[in-house]
Amino acid sequence: MKAAVYHAPHAPLRIEELDIDEPLAGEVLVRTAASGVCGSDAHIAEGFLPDVPVPMVLGHEAAGVVEAVGPGVDYVRRGDHVVICPSVWCGACEMCLRGHPYLCTQRPVRAPDQPPRLSRGGEPVHQFTNISSFAEQMLVAERATLKVDRELPLDSLALIGCGILTGLGAALRTARVEAGSTVAVFGAGGVGLAAVQGALIAGAATIISVDLSPRKLETAQQFGATHGVDASRVDPVEGIREIVPGGVDYAFEAIGNKTTAEQAFASIRDAGTAVLIGFFPAEARLDLPAADFISEKKLIGSRMGSNRFRLDMPAYIELYRQGRLKLDEMVTRRGKLEDVNEAFRAMREGEVTRTVLGFG
């Protein structure tokens, strides 16, 4: 099969022919139909996590059609349409039992003495998040799949597996935004726009999008933002407080940047909540005034929208069916596997909300 392979930071991904194994117990072989190009993929390619093993196939926001199943698989069968999610869970570890399957500590992966899922010339090729969707096929755990209706468009549904799940879930599940509240979202990329949509669905009265790009701020209004703050022209904290004196109830940081994370915390009012959903470099540290915590200001993290994906994703798909969640509009560019490096460039330049790679 063809796949886009990552070899070194700042180097273009290379399209190569790889071998993919047959599914073992609890595994599913999926023919990739569509893969979103997420910021996390770009961050890996840019060296944010220097210890990532190589060679590796990136990609993790995907949908496709089941081609084969391993022993013991009974949730899906050949021909089923599925959305793929990196939040694979075991169902037995302490995190799973405590209701946090997205923090599972015993995700089902192949043992070292088993053959690799992906290989080239007999040598293993690593999977990103145990998915690797920048490839014609994916070999994943059964618990990485969500079965969906065949009439729904897989290129749009692919976004639910990561970007939508992360931003929407941060608002609806992690922070549990209340109706009538005030919200600021730092970053108007794919995840930020999903958080804007989550705030709108939750019934927030004021939703402020913060970004350096006027064009992206205009886009945010199409997804539910009531106001925009151009951080290239004004201090974003001051801009937010001009709209909501005293600060907002909730602020979401969807970039993964130290400065904007600190600004998000500074923009909340007493008893407000700032939520970090961006992908931060491993060495990132925040400087925050400790006295603010006496006023019950809260800073919390959100991992992929605190999802229980086989419960949450069907609910989000129903919102899409009802016209309350915009998915089709999030896809601003389509391409093929060979366009993956161009998709990274367009993302860095802020030209797209999401590029989706199609596989026919």
Catalytic center residues? 38, 40, 43, 60, 162
Quote the radius of gyration of the chain (alpha carbons, Å).
20
Calpha distance 263→286 (Å, rounded): 11
Residue 311 half-sphere exposure, CB side, CA atoms within 13 Å? 10
Strands 61-69 and 56-57: unpaired
Helix 236-243 and helix 258-266: axis angle, to 10°? Answer: 30
Nearest to 130 by CA among 104, 151, 169, 166: 104
Degrees (nearest 5) of the Cα angle 35, 117, 306?
A: 50
CA distances from 169 to 142, 218, 219 (A): 22, 23, 20
Q: Is the dihedral of CA 45, 48, 54, 59 positive or negative?
A: negative
Calpha distance 6→255 (Å, rounded): 23
CA distances from 301 to 35, 144, 283 (A): 26, 23, 16
Calpha distance 169→306 (Å, rounded): 6
Q: Are 137 and 81 in contact (CB under 8 A)?
A: no
Those residues with Cβ within 8 angstroms of residue 119's Cβ, 6 or more apart along the chain or in another chain: 18, 19, 21, 125
* Number of CB atoms found within 10 A of residue 342's CB: 14
Nearest to 10 by CA among 44, 54, 38: 44
Residue 116 half-sphere exposure, CB side, CA atoms within 13 Å? 15
Calpha distance 62→145 (Å, rounded): 10
